Structure formats: C-alpha cells, structure tokens
Amino acid sequence: MASSVRVIAAVLSGVCLGACGLPTPDYKVIQYPAPYRKEASGVVVDNEDMTLDAQGYRVDKNGMRIEAVDVPAKTAGEKSNAMAGYYISSRGEHAPGRVMTPSEGAAAGAGYGPGSATVTPSQEQFMTPPAPGAPAATGQPVPLAPPK
C-alpha cells in the first residue's frame, strides 16, 4: 500500500511540474485592441480612427462610404483574366477573357517550357567511360566508427 501511494505521488508531482513549464500563448500575453470601439457619442470608430457606418464600411465626414470598390466597373474592358478558361461551377460557364501571353523573347531559352528548372544531362554523358587520369581505389576501406 505504501508503494502505491508513492507511485501516485510521484506521478502527480511529475504532472504538476510538467504543466508548470508550458509556454503561454501569445494571445494571452499580448493584448490586441478591439477592431472597433464605440465612443460616448455613439459613433463607431475603427483602429485607425476612421468612422464606420451601420454595415461596418468606412465613411468620410459627409457620411459617404470610402474605399469601396465597384469591381465590375473597375474591370470593365479588360482583356486579360486570371481565371480565363477555367470552368466556374457557380456560374455554369467558363470564365471570360483570355490568358495573358508571354512577352516577346520569352518563348525560347533558359526558363522556357516545362521542367526548365531542372538540368538533365544528355545520354552521351552517361555512356562516357571514366577519365583515365583517375587512379583505382586500393587498400582496405577505413571504418567510420572505431570497432567495438
């Protein structure tokens, strides 16, 4: 009975000592400010002291939204599309536009085509015999570790 009490005490002390040394996560150490705050006047302000409207958009002093981008209007008339040719299942059609073409001179030379980053030796390099100037290995091999 005394030995089982000692084992339990040793296990519990090990667990307690192990738990004390755990690192504290950053979100508990560093207190980040809230993304927005409500002032006494009822105005909602974000971290950069910009006033927000009811939907969370930044507004200027006149109450007009700022930094809102009308994507279809901004991209109207563009001929290149990053998704060009890919099938978009939510729309049920292929993305409009065409894929950007490489600039002049990019169709040849190093860095062109698949596998251009890997250098593959030609077949002649595999079939050439070793140079005659290299002597053959002689003697006993040297062990890496001392014998036991």
pLDDT at 32: 76
pLDDT at 127: 59
Which two structure tokens, joined as six digits, stand for 64? 């007009």
Helix, strand, coil share (%) of the chain residues, nearest 5: 20, 10, 65
Residues of the chain with pLDDT under 70: 1-2, 16-20, 68, 78-81, 98-132, 134, 147-148
The Cα diameter of the chain in Å comes to 92
pLDDT at 117: 58
pLDDT at 18: 64
Looking at residue 86, the DSSP 8-state letter turns out to be: -
Helix (H), strand (E) at residue 19: helix 2-20
pLDDT at 110: 63
User: Rounded to whole angstroms, how far apart are CA atoms 46 and 57?
Assistant: 10
Condensed to tens digits (0 to 9), the pLDDT of residues 25-52 reads 787 788 777 788 889 998 899 888 889 8
pLDDT at 128: 61
DSSP string, 90-127: TTTEEPSSBPPPPPTTTTSSTT-STTTTS----HHHHH
List all residues 6 or more positions away from 116 whose beta carbon is below 8 Å from its beta carbon: 110
pLDDT at 134: 65
